[in-house]
Amino acid sequence: MATTATTTTETDAAAEKTILDSLETRASELSIWELRQIEAKPKTAAGKAVDWLLRLLPLIVSLLIIAQYKFAPNFKEFKPLDKSKPTNLWVWFIGFFAAILLARVFISLFSLLENVRFRGDKNNSRWNRAILFSKRTSQKLRRNAPIYTAVFILLFAYDWATLKTGRLPQPYFPWPDAILNAMISDRVILWKSVWHSLILLFIGYSSGGLAGLVTGIAAGWSEKARYWVWPVVKVLGPIPSTTWLPIILIVASSLFGGSVFLIALGVWYPVTMTTMTGVLNIPKSNFEAARTFGATKAALIFKVAIPASSPFIFQGLTQGMSIACTALLVAEMMGVEAGLGWYINWQRGWAEFAKMYAAVIIICLTFFLVNALFSFIKKRVLRWKEGGVV
Amino acid sequence: MSERGSIEVRNLNKTFARLDSGGTLCAIEDLSLTVEPGEFVSIVGTSGCGKSTLLRVIAGLEMPTRGEVLCGGVPVTGTNPDRGLVFQEHTLFPWLTVRRNIIFALKSSKRLGANRAAVDTLIGKAGLSEFAGSYPHQLSGGMRQRASLIRSLAVSPDVLLLDEPLGALDSFTRMTLQDEIIRLWQERGNTMVLITHDVDEAVYLSQRIVVMSPRPGRVTEVVDVPMSYPRNRGSSDFTELRVKLLTALNFASEVEQEYNL
């Protein structure tokens, strides 16, 4: 990926140049990555040494985690509730990431051979391409190493504070190996819960978003619609949608339907607001230009108003996403008898803290993936925007 | 006067409601004007003389308060792809690439079928081949205006209305585009109505120049430009016409100092 090196500066520009020269790259054909290489400031020997230390650091800490887990004694009053012993799952888990890091370090090390020529051939393109790949990996590793290290240090500290010393009150803070094992042993019901939560989220979010789009465009487009929509938005908007939960629990014939309504309501408000603002802010000239080509009213709405206000619409959809995630969990914790929110509550009732934490982590992962998908779509749709999409 | 591309403005009055004072503002008063098919007419006047309003009424974006406008013998009741309009600020849709912008115009006017193949030719002629897939914000000001121009021409309008299309560009780009406008006009033979506050531009481009005076907007003088294309900006005929126009616009005494008006 050409953009991976946008912030890195740790390259020896002179050495890099020889590679670029041998690739016979002309200035007009430079890729973004190659341009950054040329523009980068040369590094001192000490700077390079620090870089290599940083590249190795996450690997070192990950090995320390394994060493601590395997060889340091567990804390004295170590009495697991279900008599389970610490397993090797944690070792495999950390080991997996350590192996990936090791591979990346090796690939990065390969770039040190850049001045060695394969069989004396200066222009062996395969060799040069391999060196370039290695340099890219090296830069990426250098860029990500500090945050990896921080995460591993946190994991190290957590394991130390729970299983090894019991500094965090037990059994409320299960050690990581127990959480991993809980995920594995309860995987069927966890998977079902994820699925149920996702379906509820998707139906609620899309219906709320769609409704918000319709009312927002109507209110932005016609003054009559705005006359009716505006007071509703003004009065109902600031009330968190979860306020209605107790009423919904009583009135709704199905809890699923009630929760869909709850989530949809939470999404509807911001999407309506931003869409309306977006449509009202479209420069008149956009519509006038379209009209001089003979565009129909439907085309003015669907081909001009909606795309023109799409940055605003996405702003509302982003706000709606976080509201929807909150509403989902509240609904599941309060009433719906399925899904991740319900699962957490249920396990809390049984004092199964490892399973609770397992669910928390899975919620994090799920929402992270949902949001990643959402930003991916947003970036694609809004790629015409000047200055890109944040 | 019912040929395609003719424009007939009959006793046009246009009054706007003024929201600030609660009164009304007469932008155009009793204006009559005839443009022959295939003619290149410029309308010059100081700002606020109602020249843009006139163009918008011809385009069908504004309705006359009194009087009527006929295009090709048919009264104007709304916009129509037969009358293209190029604005001062480019009105390319920022969410569409150059090519898609042109296809949008063709689709909206239901003229896509026959012209789909011509889109890339047109883009090529405007020197934008490399940028056909670029979004408007990735283009320079001149390229944007050029793309705007060919988008309006793509639907083959009988009349192309130009509302100070080059006003926001630097003088070199402006001169290049002036030549391009002449070339496109000569190729297609459609009627051109250009609004400008640049006297040089009017003399360089048009066959007839309509001078308007402000508040209320009315025609004060119509000047014929009997020069053949391409015109020489330095010729004595050119200078003479410039002085004549500036006199009509009451700027004559300042001609020497304000050469680069």
pLDDT at B5 over 90: no
Q: Please, which residues bridge with residue B28 across strands?
A: B14, B217
> Which among A199, A239, A223, A230 is positioned nearest to A332, based on CA atoms?
A199
Structural domain including B209 reads 1-82+159-261
Prediction pTM value: 0.78
User: A270 and A296 in one domain?
Assistant: yes
**Chosen domain end from B140, B156, B172:** B156
- Report the pLDDT averaged over residues B99-127: 84
Dist CA A279 CA A212 (whole Å): 13
- Counting Cα atoms < 13 Å in the Cβ hemisphere of A262 gives 31
User: A204 and A128 in one domain?
Assistant: no
The pLDDT-based confidence of B261 (bands split at 50, 70, 90) is very low
The pLDDT-based confidence of B25 (bands split at 50, 70, 90) is confident
**Chosen domain end from A128, A150, A175:** A175
User: B197 and B236 in one domain?
Assistant: yes
- Which residues on chain B are in Cβ contact (under 8 Å) with A310? 95
Q: What average pLDDT does the structure give for chain B?
A: 85
Domain count, chain B: 2
With CB atoms and an 8 Å threshold, state whether A290 touches B108.
yes
Q: Among A316-325, B113-122, B166-175, which is the least confidently predicted range?
A: B113-122
What pLDDT is stored for residue A12 in this prediction?
A: 46
What are the tens digits of pLDDT across the range A284-299? 989 999 999 988 889 8
B154 neighbors B115 (Cβ within 8 angstroms): yes
Q: What is the ipTM of this complex?
A: 0.85
Helix (H, G, I), strand (E, B) or coil at B223: strand
DSSP summary character for residue B41: E
Dist CA A387 CA A390 (whole Å): 9
User: A109 and A199 in one domain?
Assistant: no
Q: Please, which residues bridge with residue B160 across strands?
A: B84, B192
| End-to-end Cα, chain B, rounded Å | 37
User: A374 and A279 in one domain?
Assistant: yes
Dist CA A215 CA A349 (whole Å): 42
> What CATH number did the domain enclosing A245 receive?
1.10.3720.10
Peptide bond into B230 cis (omega under 30): yes
B218 neighbors B212 (Cβ within 8 angstroms): yes
| Element containing residue B163 per DSSP (H, E) | strand B159-163
Domain assignment of residue A219, yes or no: yes
**Chosen domain end from B137, B156, B175:** B156
**Chosen domain end from B131, B156, B181:** B156
Domain assignment of residue A259, yes or no: yes
Report the chain A residue with the minimal C-alpha distance to residue B57: A292
A115 neighbors A131 (Cβ within 8 angstroms): no
Residue type, B63: M
Dist CA A52 CA A139 (whole Å): 10
pLDDT at B224 over 80: yes
Domain assignment of residue B87, yes or no: no
Domain assignment of residue A388, yes or no: no
Helix (H, G, I), strand (E, B) or coil at A193: helix
Domain assignment of residue B204, yes or no: yes
User: A44 and A165 in one domain?
Assistant: yes
What pLDDT is stored for residue B51 in this prediction?
A: 86
Domain assignment of residue A366, yes or no: yes
A–B CB contacts, 8 A cutoff, strictly below: 67
| Element containing residue B211 per DSSP (H, E) | strand B208-213
Structural domain including A58 reads 2-175
Dist CA A159 CA A175 (whole Å): 6
A129 contact B CB<8A: no
Rg (CA), chain A: 28
- Cβ contacts of B217 within 8 Å, gap of 6 or more: B27, B28, B29, B31, B45, B49, B50, B51, B53, B54
What pLDDT is stored for residue A5 in this prediction?
A: 42
Residue type, A373: L
- Which residue, among B82, B95, B103, B151, would best test binding to A if mutated, counting the most A CBs under 10 Å from its CB? B95
- Which residue, among A281, A282, A293, would best test binding to B if mutated, counting the most B CBs under 10 Å from its CB? A293
pLDDT at B71 over 50: yes
User: B227 and B125 in one domain?
Assistant: no
Domain count, chain A: 2
Chain B interface with A: residues with Cβ < 8 Å: 59-61, 78-81, 83-85, 87, 89, 91, 93-97, 104-105, 108-110, 135, 137, 152, 155
Q: Beginning with the edge strand found earlier in the chain, give each strand of the sheet holding B218-224 in spatial order.
A: B83-86, B159-163, B191-196, B40-44, B208-213, B218-224
User: B194 and B150 in one domain?
Assistant: no
Could you say which of A292, A295, A384 has the minimum Cβ distance to residue B94?
A384
With CB atoms and an 8 Å threshold, state whether B84 touches A292.
yes
User: A262 and A147 in one domain?
Assistant: no
With CB atoms and an 8 Å threshold, state whether A294 touches B108.
yes
What pLDDT is stored for residue A9 in this prediction?
A: 39
Domain assignment of residue B2, yes or no: yes
User: A234 and A100 in one domain?
Assistant: no
- Report the pLDDT averaged over residues B27-37: 88
B25 neighbors B16 (Cβ within 8 angstroms): yes
Report long-range pairs for A121-130 (Cβ below 8 Å, ≥24 apart).
A122/A22, A123/A22, A123/A24, A125/A23, A128/A19, A128/A22, A128/A23
Dist CA A241 CA A256 (whole Å): 15
User: A251 and A125 in one domain?
Assistant: no
Neighbours of B6 (CB within 10 A): 20
Domain assignment of residue B185, yes or no: yes
Report the chain A residue with the minimal C-alpha distance to residue B95: A384
- Cβ contacts of B171 within 8 Å, gap of 6 or more: none
A297 contact B CB<8A: no
User: A142 and A198 in one domain?
Assistant: no
Dist CA B231 CA B239 (whole Å): 12
Does residue A3 or residue B78 have the better pLDDT?
B78
Residue whose token pair is 């000239």: A285
What pLDDT is stored for residue A280 in this prediction?
A: 94
- Which residues on chain A are in Cβ contact (under 8 Å) with B60? 291-292
User: A227 and A155 in one domain?
Assistant: no
User: B246 and B228 in one domain?
Assistant: yes
User: A218 and A80 in one domain?
Assistant: no
What pLDDT is stored for residue A160 in this prediction?
A: 92
| Element containing residue A365 per DSSP (H, E) | helix A353-381
> What CATH number did the domain enclosing B20 receive?
3.40.50.300
Helix (H, G, I), strand (E, B) or coil at B196: strand
What pLDDT is stored for residue B1 in this prediction?
A: 43
pLDDT tens for chain A, residues 1 to 390: 344 443 333 444 444 555 555 554 555 566 666 676 677 777 788 888 999 999 999 999 999 999 999 998 887 766 655 556 788 899 999 999 999 999 999 999 988 887 676 666 666 677 778 888 898 899 999 999 999 999 999 999 999 998 888 888 877 888 899 899 989 999 999 999 999 999 999 999 999 999 999 999 999 999 999 999 999 988 888 888 888 888 887 887 788 888 899 999 999 999 999 999 999 999 998 999 999 998 888 989 999 999 999 999 999 999 999 999 999 999 888 878 888 999 998 988 888 888 999 999 999 999 999 999 999 999 999 988 876 555
pLDDT at B76 over 70: yes
What pLDDT is stored for residue A77 in this prediction?
A: 64
Helices and strands in chain A: count of H runs, count of E runs: 15, 0
Neighbours of B123 (CB within 10 A): 23
What pLDDT is stored for residue A320 in this prediction?
A: 94
Neighbours of A240 (CB within 10 A): 14
Domain assignment of residue B176, yes or no: yes
